[in-house]
Structure 1
Amino acid sequence: MREIKPIDHCGSIQLKFSFSGKRYSLNPIPGGDYNNRRDLATAKAIANKIQIDILAGCFDDSLDRYRLLPKQNNSKPNRLLELWDLWVNSLDLSPATKANHYKAVRTMIAKSNPSLTEAQWLTNSKLASRTVRDRLSMLRCCYNWAIEQGLVDANPYLTIKLKKSPVTRIKPFTTTEILAITQGFEQLAPHYTPFVKFLFLTGVRLSEAIGLRWVDVDCSRSEITIAESLPKDLTGNGYTRIRKSTKTGSVRVLPMSQALRETLAAIAPTHELVFTSVGGSIIDADNFRMRHWKPILKAVAVPYRKIHNTRHTMISHALEQGIAPTGIAYLAGHIDTRMVLTTYGHMINKPQLPELF
């Protein structure tokens, strides 16, 4: 296939190409000027996107995906919410991506309903500092786009300076706390005891444990394959889950320890899933946290930490026992050791104070 290139059409920009025996002509930038470097660079990017979509088999033959919104100087947005919607729609996001962080920011904007020049509503929120920092970055991108489109004159979020985020100390569960928690489940919610033990013993992500199937458990080789997860469907009703690859797209094989073999042996494999709710359905993480995890930690007098802390616990104890960061990164499903070294570096080769007396 020939490379698609912008051409000069009486000063405007056009893309002309053929695909599957059909000829296409597109004006990607309404009002665009071929002699304007920014317009031409944008047109080249759109041409590149078309070629990528053709090769990937997802070409939109209506060409709607590749047209920019015309600049509407006479109908500029009056509030941030209107501007946010224009920007998000211009990004061509997948429904799942749009339903994640972008939807959360939109909900926050809709609640405060700030004008285009207000900015302190964000810093006055009671969100965690990391969340504010992430949303500030998105708002800055939104306004940079809006300036290019002629919708606003300035970016009020560029001058905002956030306080340095406090260092979050990870506090893994101790072996005493792990024993107390598992004993608490044995007494108060025995059905979920193997599930909790599995989380502690493997350090897998919660969605990976919820989605684990018996076909991924090889007792003859004493191995468990973690290749999929069962996260919430962000475009659904909040309860449905969808099967997909792991967070990093990795596939890892975990060797079963004696404790892990005994944990799985205690489960009667009556369902496709290894771990289910009492009624045999997919475990709902929010329901499990509120009805079992929080009450049982309180009952056994263990300070509350999120369920995700079981993952921190496995990694922390593995480091203390001398397992190499490369091995831990593999077991945890990280692409490389960067996350392990950044988050747990203080635990690696921890020096001892000298003996002076």
Structure 2
Amino acid sequence: MKPPKGSVAIENRDNRIRLRWSFNGERYCLSLGLNYTQINLKAAQQVANQIELDILSGNFDLSLNKYKPAKISFANKSKLSKNPNLLEVWDVWVNSLKLTSRTKNRHYMQIRGLIRKANPKLKDPKWFTKIDTLSPEIWNSRLSYLSSCLDWCIDKGYAAENPYKGLKRRKSATKAAKPFTKQEINSIILAFRTDQFCPQSSSYKHSYYADYVEFLFLTGCRPAEAIGLQRKHIDLERNEIVICSVLARGDNGETSSNKRVRKETKTGNIRYLTMTERLRQIMESRCADLQPDCLVFRSPKGLAINDNNFTRRQWKPVLEGLGIEYRKPYTTRHTMASIAIEQGIPLTGVAYLLGHKDTTMVMRTYGHMINRPSLPEIDI
């Protein structure tokens, strides 16, 4: 597996974080002015991801000003009260992360609302244990953010210990991913290509999305990755597809084309997918007359695909018509991963194809498929 082009290395230079990479034959080095700690490494990884994405998309800032951390105006002890509460510290920590407005307005602001309502002391986690309006998954996620904030407090000297690390995570009902069978895959793709369940009067033909559906099955890409795929991400000479960004929903979950935002992939990884023969046929056909920045998959009006409309108008009618148990389009991703595991692709390889940094998520989701023993033969 070849290393990603323009990859950025994160180094420890005298206990300070430094980034190093090469671009167009030139070597670059950038010091972030941060101590080499676990919390600061997360911030450094965000900068590294942005540099890699800009190199790949042709937006690299040669001056490096775009990647230099701005001065934190109030992330120091003099701006905090002598005994700050959690809300005060939370605001300073969030600002120190230099998040985009889009990112800050989601989980961080939602957690801030919980903190503001409870107004807890810095070292008292009891308020959080009393919250019963969140699902176990979301509660556990919020706990991770709070724990990271307290780790930062320890690093800055605001606290001596992290009381949130002692909280027990809540158990959630694990729903096993149910991939589509090969017969179901073939039936779905055929129904899309033949407009089998599309009303003749409809202006939204299923067949228009047939390549998009087959692409999801063949690659296991997230829908937002497929929706955001551009012609310049298809390298026919190298026979590979570069998955480096997505067209994500708007800040408030909007799916319309004009509200979508181009950003890095969910995990910040860039991956290179070698095309199968069938996938190459689809890409050659679709890319023939496209300019580099054009979307490979578009709506009938030439805009980015609205995944909500696609699911309601195309996906659901096809599955209902075929009598196939409903599963979200995202299940195409689980399907590809399951087939890859069945064919003996190593877990590290499956994780790479899915865009995960390691095999943790693969083991958690598909562990029941790995080295599963058969029942013994018992003479009765």
Matched with 1:230 is: 246
Aligned residues: 303
SS in 1 for 2:240: strand
What pairs up with 1:315-354 in 2 under 5 angstroms? 315-354=337-376
The corresponding residue for 1:213 is: 230
In structure 2, relative to structure 1, the CA distance for the partners of 1:135 and 1:261 (3 Å cut) is same
- What TM-score do you get using the length of structure 2 for normalisation? 0.62
Counterpart CA distance in 2 for 1:294 and 1:243 is 28
Residue 72 in structure 1 maps to residue 81 in structure 2: yes
Deviation digits for residues 205-261 of structure 1, max 9, x if unmatched? 22321222233334466x232242223276688422215467343331322233x24
2:172 maps to which of 165, 173, 186:
165
CA contact (8 A) 2:225 2:265 kept: no
Is 1:99 matched with 2:116? no
CA contact (8 A) 2:75 2:96 kept: no
Where does structure 2 lack aligned partners over 5 or more consecutive residues?
1-13, 16-36, 48-62, 199-205
User: In the TM superposition, what are the counterparts of 1:3-14 in structure 2 within 5 Å?
Assistant: none
- Cα offset for 1:62? 6.5
Q: Which residue of 1 aligns with 2:30?
A: none
Aligned to 1:20: none
Could you tell me how far 1:172 is from its partner in structure 2?
1.0
Aligned to 1:310: 332
Q: Percent identity?
A: 36
Partner residue in 1 for 2:50: none
Hey, what does 1:247 align to over in structure 2? 267
**Deviation at residue 67 of structure 1 after TM alignment:** 3.8
Distance 1:190 1:107, change over 3 A: farther
Residue range with higher mean Cα deviation, 131-140 or 289-298: 289-298
Question: How far apart, in 1, do the equivalents of 2:323 and 2:157 lie?
Answer: 59
Aligned counterparts, 1:1-357, within 5 A: 64=73, 67-68=76-77, 70-72=79-81, 84-85=90-91, 87-89=93-95, 91-106=97-112, 113-116=117-120, 119=127, 123-127=131-135, 129-140=136-147, 161-186=168-193, 187=195, 188=198, 189-219=206-236, 223-232=239-248, 238=254, 239-244=259-264, 247-258=267-278, 260-264=279-283, 267=286, 269-271=288-290, 272-357=294-379
C-alpha distance in structure 1 between counterparts of 2:356 and 2:150, whole Å: 34
Displacement, 1:269?
Answer: 4.6
- Which amino acid in 2 is paired with 1:181? I
Contact 1:254 1:331 in 2 (8 A): no
**1:168 counterpart SS class:** coil
Residues 323, 234 of structure 1: alpha-carbon distance in 2 compared, 3 angstrom cutoff = same
Could you tell me whether the CA contact under 8 Å between 2:227 and 2:304 is conserved in 1? yes
Contact kept? 1:226, 1:254, Cα under 8 Å: no
SS of equivalent residue, structure 1 residue 242: strand
Q: Distance in 2 between matches of 1:335 and 1:144?
A: 23
Query: Cα distance, 1:131 vs. partner?
Result: 1.3
Distance in 1 (CA, whole Å) between partners of 2:70 and 2:99 is: 18
Query: 3-state SS of the aligned residue for 2:179?
Result: coil
**Partner Cα distance (1:101, 1:196) in 2:** 31
Task: Point out where structure 1 has 5 or more consecutive residues left out of the alignment.
Answer: 5-41
Amino acid at match of 1:230: V
The Cα of 1:263 is off from its aligned counterpart by 3.6
**Aligned 8 A contact 1:200 1:313 in 2:** yes
Q: How far apart in 2 are the matches of 1:105 and 1:295? A: 38
* Change beyond 3 A, Cα 1:62–1:165: closer
**4+ residue runs of structure 1 moved beyond 6 angstroms?**
60-63, 80-83, 143-152, 154-159
| Deviation (angstroms), 1:266 | 5.5
Pairwise CA RMSD: 4.4
In 2 relative to 1, CA 192–62 (structure 1 residues): closer, same or farther, beyond 3 Å?
closer
Q: Is the contact between residue 209 and residue 229 of structure 1 (CA under 8 Å) also seen in structure 2?
A: no
Distance in 2 separating the partners of 1:219 and 1:87? 45
Greater radius of gyration (CA)? 1
Letter in 2 for 1:180: S
**Gap change, CA 1:164 and 1:254, over 3 Å in 2:** same
Deviation at 1:95, TM superposition (A): 3.2
SS of 1:173's partner is coil
**Whole-angstrom distance in 2 between the partners of 1:94 and 1:268:** 33
Distance in 2 (CA, whole Å) between partners of 1:325 and 1:174 is: 21
Give the whole-Å Cα distance in 1 for the aligned partners of 2:163 and 2:220.
Answer: 43
Q: Is the 8 A contact 1:208 1:226 kept in 2?
A: no
Aligned partners of 1:316 and 1:198: how far apart in 2?
16
Q: TM-score, normalised by structure 1?
A: 0.66
Deviations 1:94-151 (A, max 9, x none): 43432342134345667xx334377368631142x12111112334555787899999
- 1:170, 1:156 → 2: CA distance? 34
C-alpha separation between the residues in 1 aligned to 2:264 and 2:155? 37
